[in-house]
Structure 1
Amino acid sequence: MSEYSFVKAGKLKFKGSTDASSSSKKKKHKKKRKHEKEVKDVREEEAEKYGGWWQTSKPEEITGTIAIEIGNNTYIYAMDNGKFTLGAPNHDPSIGPSPPEQLIAITISDTKIALKSGYGKYIAVNAENEVIGRSDAVGSREQWEPVFQDGKTALQGYNGRFISCNSQGDIVAVSTKAGPEEMLKIRSNRSLVKKQKKSEEDRGDLKECEVSYVKKFQSFEDRRLRVNQEDQSNLERAQTSGKLHEELLDRREKMKADRYCK
């Protein structure tokens, strides 16, 4: 059989032309970006309302300091005996959860996390399906799986049961199904502002920074590195004001050693 028979046929695509599939992809990307912006705006508004605490919506967001809200403005509260209950209702959401209501989340895998109380103990489920914080290390009992579906959240223990608060006020994991009583919110106080990564030439001290910048753009026709030997005080001021790259470009221009200078 000829190898050409394995080639998938299709219409010719000419440079500069567009088809329905490409236009639909662009529309999908625009919708995705719009959705991400809307989600970010909602979270920023929520963070302002809840004192910097916003609701997570996927497992990878659950890391660092968190709080678990069950009901309306009531959070899981760690007691000194290792058990957990619901804290008093927070009538002013902008205050945020109190220290005993704050936990530390640690990533175990793509789907599972470990939780540590303010007493430095890992949280597990005991034989009576009670949620307790008395473990010094993470085993199977100390692993939890956040479940997200249709904008709702539940937290499943190693026993396959979901966290809730019983009639006595204790935090337990007894239900095999996530119903209304098992719905909760996992809040994080991590900053929503992403830190910009420094480029390689911006790392190190100013001297190293300028050498890296020159190496990146200089022509090296005679294999010699040319760096401006003038005082670097202007660079220090430019770094503080956020205009370091502009100042480096001006210094390169004075050297007349780079054909890419402005």
Structure 2
Amino acid sequence: MAEYVAKPGKLWLKGEKKPKKKKSHKRKHESDDEAAAADNAIEGEVLHETWRRVRDLVDVKGPVCLVSRTGAYIAAQDDGCFVEGVPGESEKRPPNEAEEYLGYTVGDEKVALKSGYGKYMCTSSSGDVVGRSDAIGTREMWDPIFQDGLIAFEGSNRRFMTVEESGKLMSTAEKVSDDAKFTLRTSKSKFKKAKTEVEKEYGKKLSNLEMEYVNRYQSFQDHHVIVTQKSRDELRGAREKGKLHESLLDRRAKMKSDRYCK
């Protein structure tokens, strides 16, 4: 039998209070950093702390900038034309006023871009991409095509927006070439859509949800909560059919002590 050896430590007298151990939050911080890194990996590279890659139509709303495949910003000019800037400049600095646009979603599938000069980007009859419109019409609407973190814009003339060798922006390509692929970035913070009360309730356990409804609406007798003893199978079926609230109301209506139901 092995000899027992007492573990050395400070002697605590009776009545003395031992100091509470401080909880380490290192693990929590590490997990938060890992989650942020994973989110950035999914959403794409974040530049200049605020400008993140747009991968979905919902993120087109608000301040955006357009970057060509060479890493150059697409800038608006005072004559209404759009040109490609210096290659690689987007990695060195955030966009300036001429390189920043306001993105809008039109319906469920189309987008519109408004330059810093207050004009909407559109395709002309000759295929030039210009910004001279004060309102959104058919020519100001673009069909965005997202793939692998990049975006292509199809104009109303059924041609794709491209950067020509001269650096000018045109809408003449019949197919999505490398010059027709852009990176769209937004400075709008990414947030998760909060669940509505209905969505939260549909995710709860039925027994807990019914108890919450009873506590919320039922008048108590002798300080006891009265819940129907009927099977909750009907609630399961009602939830699948989208009639959970109606079923809960019917069950509460049958309880005589419920003052809110007939």
Match of 1:118 in 2: 116
The alpha-carbon deviation at position 50 of structure 1 amounts to: 3.7
**Structure 2 SS opposite 1:141:** helix
- The structure number with the bigger radius of gyration is 2
Give the AA of the match of 1:164: T
Contact (CA 8 Å) 1:51, 1:93: kept in 2 or not? no
Identity %: 31
Distance across 2 between alignment mates of 1:51 and 1:170: 29
Distance across 1 between alignment mates of 2:92 and 2:190: 17
Give the AA of the match of 1:181: D
Match of 2:229 in 1: none
Match of 1:102 in 2: 100
The alpha-carbon deviation at position 135 of structure 1 amounts to: 0.5
Q: TM-score, normalised by structure 2?
A: 0.57
Distance across 1 between alignment mates of 2:98 and 2:69: 17
Q: 2:189 aligns with which of 180, 188, 191?
A: 191
Match of 1:75 in 2: 73
**Structure 1: any 5+ residue segments left out of the alignment?**
1-35, 200-215, 223-262
Flag the 1:136–1:181 CA change in 2: closer, same or farther, 3 A.
same
**Structure 2 SS opposite 1:192:** coil
Q: Which string of whole-angstrom CA distances, capped at 9 and with x for unpartnered residues, describes residues 23-63 of structure 1?
A: xxxxxxxxxxxxx988623157722x343111112222211
**Structure 2: any 5+ residue segments left out of the alignment?**
1-34, 198-214, 222-262
Match of 1:258 in 2: none
Counting only pairs closer than 5 Å after superposition, residues 104-183 of structure 1 correspond to structure 2 as: 104-183=102-181
**Structure 1 SS opposite 2:39:** helix
The alpha-carbon deviation at position 92 of structure 1 amounts to: 6.6
The alignment covers a number of residue pairs equal to: 173
Match of 1:20 in 2: none
**Structure 1 SS opposite 2:139:** helix
The alpha-carbon deviation at position 64 of structure 1 amounts to: 0.9
Counting only pairs closer than 5 Å after superposition, residues 27-38 of structure 1 correspond to structure 2 as: none
Q: CA RMSD in A?
A: 3.1
Q: TM-score, normalised by structure 1?
A: 0.57
Flag the 1:107–1:183 CA change in 2: closer, same or farther, 3 A.
same
Deviates more, 1:109-118 or 1:149-158: 149-158
Contact (CA 8 Å) 1:71, 1:184: kept in 2 or not? yes
The alpha-carbon deviation at position 118 of structure 1 amounts to: 0.7
Distance across 2 between alignment mates of 1:101 and 1:140: 23
Flag the 1:184–1:92 CA change in 2: closer, same or farther, 3 A.
closer
Flag the 1:166–1:105 CA change in 2: closer, same or farther, 3 A.
same
